[in-house]
Structure 1
Amino acid sequence: MEYTQLGRTGLKVSRLVLGTMNFGPQTDEADSHAIMDAALDAGINFFDTANVYGWGENKGRTEEIIGSWFAKGGDRREKTVLATKVYANMGPEGDNVWPNFDRLSALNIRRAVDASLKRLKTDYIDVYQFHHIDRNTPFDEIWQAVDVLVAQGKILYAGSSNFPGYKIAQANETAARRGNTIGLVSEQCLYNLAERRAEMEVIPAAQDYGLGVIPWSPLHGGVLGGVIRKEVQGGRRASGRAADFLADAEKRARIQSYEDLLDKHGLEPGEVALAWLLTRPGVTGPIVGPRTAEQLESALRASELELSQELLGSLDEIFPGPGPSPEAFAW
């Protein structure tokens, strides 16, 4: 496994990030533990989660599964760079949604961090990420809350997720003005061959401010994982984001061209999609969210796959990027 610095920090992380969103809803605790053990054995040291994973009445369940894995000992926590997120409502389930149990107020950040630490059975979080922008909370308040948590030793770094470029700039300019925080060190964004809009402003902003880029949904909900071939072979039909994508005739034709191209090269679509992200400027490592040990093994093969310039050029022809801003939409 290769390692790289997380943005401008001194923190070394693996080029693959283990996503845990399926732990609980899709993968039971025993299998989740086995996948985490296999990932650590393979050298993956960067694990990503969120306080809301588990969803609905089971929100928080994923963090609990990770916590029970840490509790097994064997230096699991010490070897792991742990990232979790705050934003979603974690208040009591029911008809009445109580205020101050979501978003990025200083109150909710304090409440959410303590709850995550308890579920994760750890006394610190390496990278604490804002899951979404909060249009109602000023960054001065957010950084004040972060500074307190850093001083208490509860978190080490702060990162963002799903931030537009201007919010990355605003967040880090506010941090610089305050002078007592290093600001955002990572951005977790939707980025893959089929969805390249992040190249316009998000990734350039992250690069200019020294943030590591952590793409989520590298297979675009399964679209880039050989979805048409699986349908033809009688496998699981596309659903969710993949089904919506394939409903567009032009987009479906692109995916067919993609699968046909990789068939000629004898390559697996999902592995190529991950390997492509590892060639992209500014990318720290994509988040892989295996439901099974076999899916983790496929991701590990992708990390060792070298794509030729000819193949990279062909991929750009099928999935042309938007180009940088402002040229992408102006002159």
Structure 2
Amino acid sequence: MKYTQLGRTGLKVSRLVLGTMNFGPQTDEADSHAIMDAALDAGINFFDTANVYGWGENKGRTESIIGNWFAKGGERRDKVVLATKVYGNMDLDPDASSVWPNHDKLSALNIRRAVEASLKRLQTDYIDLYQFHHIDRSTPFEEIWQAIDVLVQQGKILYAGSSNFPGYKIAQANEIAARRGGTIGLVSEQCLYNLAERRAEMEVVPAAQEYGLGVIPWSPLHGGLLGGVIKKEAQGGRRASGRAADTLADPASRKQIQAYEDLLEKHGIEPGEAALAWLLTRPGVTGPIVGPRTAEQLESAIRASELELSEELLTSLDEIFPGPGPSPEAFAW
């Protein structure tokens, strides 16, 4: 496994990030633990989760599964760079007629409450990377950074990162952090970024690079669309659903995905592995998040991390998925 620095920090992380969103809802605890063991054995040391994973009445379940895995010992916690997130509502009262205030978003109160709850579920004393899952338009960054400063001083978190932030919010957050002193500001941005969805290249990725944030792409296969979905359907396998199904319903988009699969068949490369390998060639990318439901899916992702794409293939992929180009040229002269 290859490693890189997380943005401008001295922290070394694997070029694949183990996403855990499926742990609980789709993968039971025993299989989740087996996947984490396999990831660690393969050298993946960067694990990503969120306090809301588990969803619905099971919010927090994913963090608990990870915490039970840490509790097994064997230096599991010491070997892992642990990232979780705060923003979503964590009020678990199923009988509540409405959302109880101050159990979500990025107020200093909720950040304090949420980090304590995550530490308890994760059975750890500290979180390496604490990420804001979404922007909070109601809370000023001065308040957010004050809360983060306290947590860093208490040793409960080491770094802060963002997720789903637009470029201007990355800039705003880090400019305010710099004016305040204390915290070093955001060190990473987790964003939607893949071959079929390249809008992040317009402003998010450039902003991240300018401010020294590592870029952590989520949904690297675009909801399965880039994982050989047409071929799988033809072979009687799992049919496309959600975003992938909606995209394939459009004839022009289906033609684009067919061209992608045909290109990779010509080169003898699995589509899903090519999509991951492509992200690893992109400037500013620390590593994509892979969310395996099974051990076999993890093995495929590990193979992708070692895959070298030729310049000819990279050029052909750009022709199929050209991307928007940088701003302001993407929308101006």
Range of TM-score over shorter length:
over 0.9
After superposition, give the CA deviation of every residue in 1:288-324 in whole Å (9 maximum; x if it has no partner): 0000000000000000000000000000000001000
After superposition, give the CA deviation of every residue in 1:102-139 in whole Å (9 maximum; x if it has no partner): 00000000000000000000010000000000000000
The one of 101, 107, 120 equivalent to 2:109 is 107
Q: Superposition pairs for residues 1-331 of structure 1, below 5 Å?
A: 1-91=1-91, 92-93=93-94, 94-331=96-333
The Cα RMSD (Å) is 0.6
Q: TM-score, with normalisation over the residues of structure 1? A: 0.99
Q: Give the Å deviation of 1:180.
A: 1.2
- Amino acid corresponding to residue 202 of structure 2 in structure 1: M
Aligned to 1:104, the other structure's residue is in SS state: coil
Distance 1:136 1:122 in 2: 30
- Amino acid corresponding to residue 268 of structure 1 in structure 2: E
Distance 2:220 2:97 in 1: 35
- Amino acid corresponding to residue 139 of structure 2 in structure 1: T
Q: TM-score, with normalisation over the residues of structure 2? A: 0.99
- Amino acid corresponding to residue 195 of structure 2 in structure 1: L
Distance 2:284 2:88 in 1: 27
After superposition, give the CA deviation of every residue in 1:64-111 in whole Å (9 maximum; x if it has no partner): 000000000000000000000000000133322101000000000000
Distance 2:55 2:86 in 1: 14
After superposition, give the CA deviation of every residue in 1:249-273 in whole Å (9 maximum; x if it has no partner): 2111110000011111111000000
Distance 2:97 2:46 in 1: 37
- Segments of 4+ in structure 1 off by > 6 A? none
Alignment size in residue pairs: 331
Structure 1: stretches of 5+ with no match in the other structure: none
Distance 1:95 1:256 in 2: 47
Q: Give the Å deviation of 1:222.
A: 0.1
Question: Quick one: percent identity of the two aligned structures?
Answer: 87
Distance 1:293 1:184 in 2: 33
> More deviation in 284-293 or 88-97?
88-97
Structure 2: stretches of 5+ with no match in the other structure: none
Q: Give the Å deviation of 1:248.
A: 1.8
